[in-house]
Amino acid sequence: MPHRTSRRTLLTATAAATAAAATGVLSATGTASAHPADASTNATTDRRLRRIIAGMSLEEKVGQLFVMRVYGHSATDPDQADIDANLKEIGVRTAAELVSTYHVGGIIYFAWAHNTRDPHQIAALSNGIQQAALGERSRVPLLISTDQEHGIVCRVGEPATLLPGAMALGAGGSRSDTRRAAWIAGAELAALGINQNYAPDADVNVNPANPVIGVRSFGSAPESVAELVAAQVKGYQGAGVAATAKHFPGHGDTSTDSHTGLPVIEHTRQEWEELDAPPFRAAIRARIDSIMTAHIVVPALDPSEDPATLSRPILTGILREELGYDGVVVTDSLGMEGVRTKYGDDRVPVLALLAGVDQLLNPPNPSVAWNAVLEAVRGGEISEARVEESVLRILRLKTRLGLFRDPFVSGRGVDRTVGIRKHLLDADRIAERTTTLLAAPGALLPLSRRTHRRLLVVGADPASPSGTTGPPTSTLAGAFTELGFAATALSTGTAPNQAKIAEAVAAAQGRDAVVVATYNITASSAQLALVDALVATGVPVVAVAIRNPYDAAHLTGRGVAAVLASYSWTDVELRAAARVIAGRARPEGRLPVPVQRADDPARVLYPVGHGLSY
């Protein structure tokens, strides 16, 4: 397995710190605070909700368990291309038809499904969906959800406020900044009618080769991750949006992407307790509204080798009974290969419910999944009481969010909340405190406009997260220009060929400095050839790792004048990196993960907590 040696070193290194934390806030056995439903949902409310459930048909009860995607910017009048996509994938024309056909309890928004064009459109779509739900016989409002982690996973883009992602916040190390970022995000989502956010990521990223989590995690130290997870739970839920800790029981140590395969986590039960469990325990103590499952196999927790999403020992035995969680459990997307490898699409939703799940997220074929659950209940494999148990949890959550009182939002609320100046300024200041200066052997920084005015910005331009204004090189160049530099952008891509490298070398002539944006460098990456060629020109080179800070292992010692980490290539983080390079802000970030040596992964090059300043 890639990076196995370095990962095991990290497991050992973090165990002692975790054990110490376990005696305090991260008690290995502490489950004193279960779910908010235990304390805040009184018997009167439950009786009212049970009456609502008793009035539902079986089809409506089953529908409440499903959270589905749907194409279109409007609940009733989407574009023809979206109607065609809905008919092909879902068998309905519109979001309103999805609600009336399957009685779904929730809908998830995606940018690629054209749900999130602009704030007023999103609010109108949310209102249209809620109107369709209230027109149903049961009159139960919907949970409208999305993945708004920020950083590299962001479904609602500008003009909404974009914020640093989890690992950037981990580098900042501030619980107040982390909570404030979540509150801003939550307040803006709530104004758009989105009331359930699939964030924060509670995975502890102890594998540098992790292809799916990485910078979506707050870091590699369980106790630090736990603190920041709890801070975000309080921020989101304080703003009126349900938070979702993911991906239980912990997706931080894998070299397989569960979107395309079935990862196996080889942690022992003790390692799981020390490394993976603390953030979920902290989320539960922070009264988390929902927890998302992982499509991963953890043999130490369930020797059947079923993915956790379908594992009763993991979801009921550990999450429900051992950790004492009685809130909403939602699957990760049921369209991912990790959950489809072992069982067919008709069995997956049934097995998930039997394991202890409440919400079934985005099955690839809703008709197959919905009818499979109906047949399982009619045939006695799943009792109707078991379905009602999950429906009650879902309705409790809808009650806590105030959806039965008023599920609608207003255009005025959008204007007063989304992308307002205060939020944007806070985002900029928070981002500045996350930018990390990892190496500065050339004593070049901060750049001065007097001596290094003419800049060339080159490097990788990966596809931008939703709603950002442009490619990273253009964004960086624009930020430097606003700061008074004469900056030019040249995209060289993630795998520059010799012609592109030669073009960059020629463009560097006459420049005072070159800024290179790197993206997921490996030992054989052509990006290193680009860096070497630019260093050979004699023009000072500053490297910015715009995703994984692990790039620094390959950049250190190559003659670059400085190496920084921004942890994402969203506009807010790149603008902050530019201000740090230009001396308009001090680099305050500290590594939340260790960076191992490229030539000897068993040895640490930059430890957790490393970061330079000037």
Contact 461, 516 (CB under 8 A): no
In degrees, to the nearest 5, what angle opens at C-alpha 150 toward C-alphas 239 and 462? 165
The tokens for 511 are 């420049």
How far is it, in rounded angstroms, from Cα 495 to Cα 14?
35
Contact 416, 190 (CB under 8 A): no
Where helices occur in 165-265 by DSSP H, the ranges are 166-172, 175-191, 222-238
DSSP letter string over 94-107? SHHHHHHHH--SEE
The tokens for 97 are 């038809």
In degrees, to the nearest 5, what angle opens at C-alpha 496 toward C-alphas 491 and 497? 130
Q: Identify whether 307 is preceded by a cis peptide bond (ω within 30 of 0).
A: no
Q: Of how many residues is the chain composed?
A: 614
CA torsion, points 160, 166, 172, 175, in degrees to nearest 10?
90
The tokens for 56 are 């539902």
Give every CB contact of residue 31 below 8 A, 6+ residues apart in sequence: 281, 284, 322, 323, 324
Which residues are identified as catalytic?
Answer: 259, 332
Query: What separation, in Å, do the N-terminal and C-terminal C-alpha atoms of the chain show?
Result: 39
Contact 551, 167 (CB under 8 A): no
Per the rule left: phi > 0, alpha: psi between -120 and 50, beta: everything else, 572 is alpha
Give just the sign of the alpha carbon dihedral 362, 206, 31, 173.
Answer: negative
Contact 67, 363 (CB under 8 A): no
* Matching residue, tokens 């979540």: 182
Q: 402: helix, coil or strand?
A: coil
- State which H helix or E strand residue 47 sits in: helix 43-54
Strand partners, 457: 489, 515
The tokens for 446 are 């901060």
- State which H helix or E strand residue 572 sits in: helix 571-581
* Matching residue, tokens 């442009």: 470
- State which H helix or E strand residue 273 sits in: none
Q: Count other Cβ atoms within 10 Å, centred on residue 54.
A: 9
